[in-house]
Chains A and B, each alone.
Chain A
């Protein structure tokens, strides 16, 4: 089947404006410019499109929250793709930028915005420059700026490069950063739809989400809903990485199983080097790790719920039997500690503490007490932080504890050895299996 999102894989040079236009490019925009803005939002709502950044919030509903009436409003594209193992937006920006631009323009028209910002991960230089070139081409051809396509609708589009902070993928931190403030999230409410950029109503959509919009407008909500499941309709780009034979981005129809993704020749082509599957991070570093039993779950927003995890942004990291789960948890926690913005106490202090504990445990210097403290610290962060980063940070820890407790236990030294280093031992050590 032809790609809906990764269309550059079917159409050569679709990043060029004339090629894009030869393939129905900006026809969706043309179509909406003759419609009532509310009707545009309704189509997107009816399509069931949900946010592809990971949270899966219904896109049409988000647009519908924007108050009607005069005054500045903004569309902000979240291209701050920084989750471990996520690289889907980068490909879209670089290879199929016009579909994102068109989607954003449709969003701007639907909510009455005259300014779009693309907040792009700072490290995505090549992708960002390619996207900027696409913007220039649009300005030169009457697709951006004053009186777009002679419709009377005007809209500007600016590119903004982040400075290398994971937290700026959180929408309020992104907006703070875009305004020149420190990249820290704010406590919601106010929600961006009410008070976002410069305290004005703002829609923040993921890059991939917006790439879904033009085909929905062109073909209608019903067409879109034929793909995927009832609650998770449409295509999804999956970033497959780790120990698979063919890592990369794949556009799948939601509902496909993880097993098919990993083992099908059309996708991952199986575990590399003939090793056995051990575990999978279905949502980069931020989602709980799952094991073999989850492989038959469908890739949908709800599919992994029974397994205590989430599809998220669909950054699937595969780990074979050689991977040390304590090491993996330590690496993830290191990342979250490094990326914690420091605004709220549990995340700022807790990620630092968890990393200290995990390093000690990984090095074989931990105690039973450290294990207990680690679990407790992780639980104490959960549900008490200002944004979701704190909850993300504990997922790799608590999920590996759940599935691989023996790997932690195996790293705990016997009491005598630890006492020999002068550390007070209060819990009775449990010998490794």
Chain B
């Protein structure tokens, strides 16, 4: 037996657990549920609620000799001398004997329940938690069924205390377990709520403006063991037992966060099944049991009144309702008419099945490689296929000795779950190296926070990569050399890269340089090893899948290079303007609204497949109404290349159809044969075409196993209400470096272009307006990111702008208005946030606007 294992007995059952394990967890391993309220396996133990009191005995030793004392029958003498102890704060030790079912223990549990209920309002019949409430369940299991507290002696407190726009507190129901306070402090790193006052008047209070200002606030409602914290979205919305949980995935971010949508059929919705809430679903290798508030609250777009419900065809200059048959016939006919001047752009939030059929339509049906992501701001999918993070990796495994490099990305705003997990890795001892044009929140946890001048990202990264190959003692005054020494000594090495302030070509160079860093470490590369590799900070939930499916002018599905590349999106938009592109198919994207395309230009035909009448759709000849992700099934591939399933949850809106169905029906009309009848069958074709997906099918993706910590299920009190994962953990596809040698990448030396003038860099904000969030915005309203331009104090003085001024910002031919913030940017850089997209680092003109007179 390993030295690190400790053997103890719990109610006579022997169990061996790692050193440092707490008594409650050791018991849990053998199915012995010691009841808890304040304890949560993801939080530090505090021993506050006293529910887990158990008898803990230790083997006695002779004081003089140190020898174990034995009973007459040879068994060790056990000393239970210290009375009842909290199982959540005591670590196991060899020979420990734990008793969890004795009279004193049962008595203590009943007494603690009685104490808790003296102040509790017992308003279970109107409580959102009723039915899935740890306090209710443990009262049924361990309580006496009555209270000696005279009801009139109860303390009454406020029941509707907003901690912000999203989370409400019921002070009476709160049992002061501090799970929420501790979560915000320990896990989220946003200590914006705390206790106020003392004794029975102890009260959760928000310390931030706006209230409860954190991207993680919703998680506190999951782990709250009573109905004290509820979301504005769900409170008084439904009873838990009326809800049907359906497994789904984040429709927003490339982490592939596992979630559950709880649905209910409602009369007021015409008997349709509607979303009542979204909660995390456990996946310890992806999002553990946490989701960001964006994932939790930005789902209302699916049921928005603005959804398109039937196909629209332009007649006499106006979009009018049409039948599917008519619309599909027009689309197929017009696309074929355009001949080689046909082109397609796609968004990257659609499923693999959708994107694969889009690709089939163009390459096989229309014989065109003019296929690209509508807003491809980040390159390197093909490089990720070579050296992407190895399958079986888990960011949770990173710790002391390991290094994470993050280039040109603000993970807190782009992929909050990764930010959370890297923060935790840093707390476990991993070294984080950030390389950015400006400071980001991750810098606080970084060992080295490096900066580059706009336009010099590639040159700076090259320095870091080259120097990390050199053996050094790690001591250097030069920040790059010091960071390189850290990187060079990495045990495991994971590299993230984003696009902040970079052109598409620059992101490709960054990806290649990081790939080289992973491939070469003193002759022994990181790439291909578990917990090592490259992770792209893709802009959307299925950008990875789009690359895999060949939504690219130069790659067929599975990264097969094409002999002849098609037009990229930029060329298509130019072609539309000049007339060389005649027909354009826009799938789940809004290039006009995002400012990428200046109207429909000289296009003969524009078809848009969308949920909403976006700016692009409004300019289209045919608009095909698509279903949202919760109305149909499919697969997304996250940026760690994990292919995961999601399932239909609500009744489809109007006559909308799943994207893959629409594309199959267009495909049929251009000669691609009978359409597949189910997403699972389309996925079979995907697997045939994408060699990396070999061995996957809908059944294998749905496989799951018990995860630790053990949350959800009957014992929901143990970890909170996060859903246990019974719908699939997905499968990661194997990067090339895992199975064979991968050569180094050539990265051409480019002269650093240093042009004078202020450079504009677009920075990410989680709640930046976009098609999905803008149709879910009511709840997040005050938190939505507004266009903001940040300037250094010196630069602001130069352009004559003061904090709070309205300004007009012009760069790369795009003009935006924003509010100026002074003091929050490095010199020479103007940071713009709250806007859709600005490529690269363009020279910017800033003009102060006269204050508009309010009538």
Specify whether A and B are partners: yes
Range of interface residues on B (Cβ < 8 Å): 35 or more
Across the interface, which residues of B come within 8 angstroms of A352, CB to CB? 118-119, 155, 199-200
Closest A residue to B89 by beta carbon equals A187
Decide if B48 touches A384 in the complex (CB within 8 Å).
Answer: no
A353 with B118, Cβ < 8 A, contacts A341-B198, A384-B112 known: yes
Decide if A384 touches B202 in the complex (CB within 8 Å).
Answer: no
Interface string of A361-373 (1 = CB under 8 A from B): 0000000010001
Decide if A345 touches B84 in the complex (CB within 8 Å).
Answer: no
Residue B60, interface by CB 8 Å:
no
Q: How far is the CA of A346 from the CA of B195 in the complex (A)?
A: 18
Residue B708, interface by CB 8 Å:
no
Residue B310, interface by CB 8 Å:
no
Residue A383, interface by CB 8 Å:
yes
Decide if B49 touches A348 in the complex (CB within 8 Å).
Answer: no
Across the interface, which residues of A come within 8 angstroms of B148, CB to CB? 369, 373, 376-377
Within 8 A of B (CB), among A349-365: 349-353, 356
A384 with B53, Cβ < 8 A, contacts A343-B176, A346-B115 known: yes
Decide if B116 touches A349 in the complex (CB within 8 Å).
Answer: yes
Decide if A384 touches B108 in the complex (CB within 8 Å).
Answer: yes
From B47, B153, B202, give the contact of A353 (CB < 8 A): B153
Q: How far is the CA of A423 from the CA of B155 in the complex (A)?
A: 19
Closest A residue to B107 by beta carbon equals A380
Across the interface, which residues of B come within 8 angstroms of A344, CB to CB? 47-50
Across the interface, which residues of B come within 8 angstroms of A350, CB to CB? 115
Instruction: Name, among B46, B115, B194, B197, the residue most crowded by chain A CB atoms within 10 Å (CB to CB).
Output: B115
Within 8 A of B (CB), among A278-308: none
Residue B111, interface by CB 8 Å:
yes
A386 with B47, Cβ < 8 A, contacts A165-B198, A342-B198 known: yes
Across the interface, which residues of A come within 8 angstroms of B47, CB to CB? 187, 344, 386
Decide if B84 touches A386 in the complex (CB within 8 Å).
Answer: no
Q: How far is the CA of A233 from the CA of B689 in the complex (A)?
A: 87
Q: How far is the CA of A380 from the CA of B116 in the complex (A)?
A: 13
Closest A residue to B176 by beta carbon equals A342
Residue B620, interface by CB 8 Å:
no
Across the interface, which residues of A come within 8 angstroms of B48, CB to CB? 187, 343-345, 386
Q: How far is the CA of A339 from the CA of B45 in the complex (A)?
A: 24
Across the interface, which residues of A come within 8 angstroms of B50, CB to CB? 344-346, 384-386
Across the interface, which residues of A come within 8 angstroms of B53, CB to CB? 384
Within 8 A of A (CB), among B150-205: 150, 153, 155, 175-176, 194-195, 197-202
Decide if A342 touches B200 in the complex (CB within 8 Å).
Answer: yes
Q: How far is the CA of A383 from the CA of B50 in the complex (A)?
A: 11
Across the interface, which residues of A come within 8 angstroms of B201, CB to CB? 342
Residue B392, interface by CB 8 Å:
no
Residue A182, interface by CB 8 Å:
yes
Across the interface, which residues of B come within 8 angstroms of A200, CB to CB? none
Decide if B195 touches A182 in the complex (CB within 8 Å).
Answer: yes
Across the interface, which residues of A come within 8 angstroms of B46, CB to CB? 186-187, 343
Decide if B115 touches A341 in the complex (CB within 8 Å).
Answer: no
Across the interface, which residues of A come within 8 angstroms of B119, CB to CB? 349, 352
Q: How far is the CA of A17 from the CA of B147 in the complex (A)?
A: 61
Across the interface, which residues of B come within 8 angstroms of A348, CB to CB? 115, 176, 199-200, 202
Residue A338, interface by CB 8 Å:
yes
From B51, B83, B86, B108, give the contact of A187 (CB < 8 A): B86
| B139–chain A nearest beta-carbon distance, Å | 13
Q: How far is the CA of A337 from the CA of B199 in the complex (A)?
A: 7
| B292–chain A nearest beta-carbon distance, Å | 27
Across the interface, which residues of B come within 8 angstroms of A353, CB to CB? 115, 118, 149, 153
| B647–chain A nearest beta-carbon distance, Å | 41
Interface string of B634-651 (1 = CB under 8 A from A): 000000000000000000
Decide if A349 touches B89 in the complex (CB within 8 Å).
Answer: no
Residue A340, interface by CB 8 Å:
yes
Across the interface, which residues of A come within 8 angstroms of B45, CB to CB? 187
Closest A residue to B113 by beta carbon equals A345
| A379–chain B nearest beta-carbon distance, Å | 9
A380 with B115, Cβ < 8 A, contacts A345-B49, A345-B175, A353-B153 known: yes
Across the interface, which residues of A come within 8 angstroms of B83, CB to CB? 383
A380 with B111, Cβ < 8 A, contacts A349-B116, A386-B50 known: yes
Closest A residue to B202 by beta carbon equals A342
| A162–chain B nearest beta-carbon distance, Å | 13
Closest A residue to B155 by beta carbon equals A352
Across the interface, which residues of A come within 8 angstroms of B51, CB to CB? 345
Q: How far is the CA of A380 from the CA of B46 in the complex (A)?
A: 20
| B24–chain A nearest beta-carbon distance, Å | 13
Decide if B199 touches A340 in the complex (CB within 8 Å).
Answer: yes
Across the interface, which residues of A come within 8 angstroms of B108, CB to CB? 384
Decide if B86 touches A349 in the complex (CB within 8 Å).
Answer: no
| B242–chain A nearest beta-carbon distance, Å | 32
Within 8 A of A (CB), among B16-62: 45-51, 53
Across the interface, which residues of A come within 8 angstroms of B112, CB to CB? 345-346, 384
Decide if B198 touches A340 in the complex (CB within 8 Å).
Answer: yes
Across the interface, which residues of A come within 8 angstroms of B200, CB to CB? 340, 342, 348-349, 352
Across the interface, which residues of A come within 8 angstroms of B115, CB to CB? 345-346, 348-350, 353, 380
Q: How far is the CA of A125 from the CA of B47 in the complex (A)?
A: 35
Q: How far is the CA of A383 from the CA of B150 in the complex (A)?
A: 25
Closest A residue to B111 by beta carbon equals A380
Q: How far is the CA of A353 from the CA of B114 in the complex (A)?
A: 11
Across the interface, which residues of B come within 8 angstroms of A345, CB to CB? 48-51, 112, 115-116, 175-176
Q: How far is the CA of A306 from the CA of B149 in the complex (A)?
A: 35
| A67–chain B nearest beta-carbon distance, Å | 19
Across the interface, which residues of A come within 8 angstroms of B49, CB to CB? 344-345
Closest A residue to B82 by beta carbon equals A383
Across the interface, which residues of B come within 8 angstroms of A187, CB to CB? 45-48, 86, 89
Q: How far is the CA of A273 from the CA of B45 in the complex (A)?
A: 55
Across the interface, which residues of B come within 8 angstroms of A349, CB to CB? 115-116, 118-119, 200
Q: How far is the CA of A380 from the CA of B109 in the complex (A)?
A: 10
| A238–chain B nearest beta-carbon distance, Å | 30
Decide if B176 touches A182 in the complex (CB within 8 Å).
Answer: no
From A341, A380, A383, A423, give the contact of B199 (CB < 8 A): A341
Q: How far is the CA of A385 from the CA of B119 in the complex (A)?
A: 17
Closest A residue to B46 by beta carbon equals A187
Q: How far is the CA of A343 from the CA of B38 in the complex (A)?
A: 10
Decide if B153 touches A356 in the complex (CB within 8 Å).
Answer: yes
Across the interface, which residues of B come within 8 angstroms of A346, CB to CB? 50, 111-112, 115
| A4–chain B nearest beta-carbon distance, Å | 35
| A423–chain B nearest beta-carbon distance, Å | 8
Decide if A384 touches B84 in the complex (CB within 8 Å).
Answer: yes
Closest B residue to A383 by beta carbon equals B83
Instruction: Name, among A353, A373, A377, the residue most crowded by chain B CB atoms within 10 Å (CB to CB).
Output: A353
Q: How far is the CA of A351 from the CA of B197 in the complex (A)?
A: 16
Across the interface, which residues of B come within 8 angstroms of A343, CB to CB? 46, 48, 176, 202
Decide if B116 touches A383 in the complex (CB within 8 Å).
Answer: no
Closest A residue to B49 by beta carbon equals A345
Across the interface, which residues of B come within 8 angstroms of A167, CB to CB? 198
Within 8 A of A (CB), among B191-240: 194-195, 197-202
Residues of chain A touching chain B, judged by Cβ–Cβ distance below 8 Å, are 165, 167, 182-184, 186-187, 337-346, 348-353, 356, 369, 373, 376-377, 380, 383-386, 423
> Mind listing 29 A-B residue pairs with CB under 8 Å?
A182-B194, A187-B45, A187-B89, A341-B199, A342-B195, A342-B198, A342-B200, A342-B201, A342-B202, A344-B47, A344-B48, A345-B48, A345-B49, A345-B51, A345-B176, A346-B115, A348-B176, A348-B199, A349-B115, A349-B119, A349-B200, A351-B199, A353-B115, A353-B149, A353-B153, A376-B148, A377-B148, A383-B84, A385-B50
Residues of chain B touching chain A, judged by Cβ–Cβ distance below 8 Å, are 45-51, 53, 83-84, 86, 89, 108, 111-112, 114-116, 118-119, 148-150, 153, 155, 175-176, 194-195, 197-202
Closest 4 CB pairs of A and B: A187-B47, A342-B202, A349-B115, A380-B111
User: In the complex, given contacts A165-B198, A352-B155, A384-B53, what are 11 additional A-B residue pairs having Cβ atoms less than 8 angstroms apart?
Assistant: A187-B45, A187-B46, A341-B202, A342-B176, A344-B48, A346-B50, A348-B176, A351-B199, A377-B148, A384-B84, A385-B50
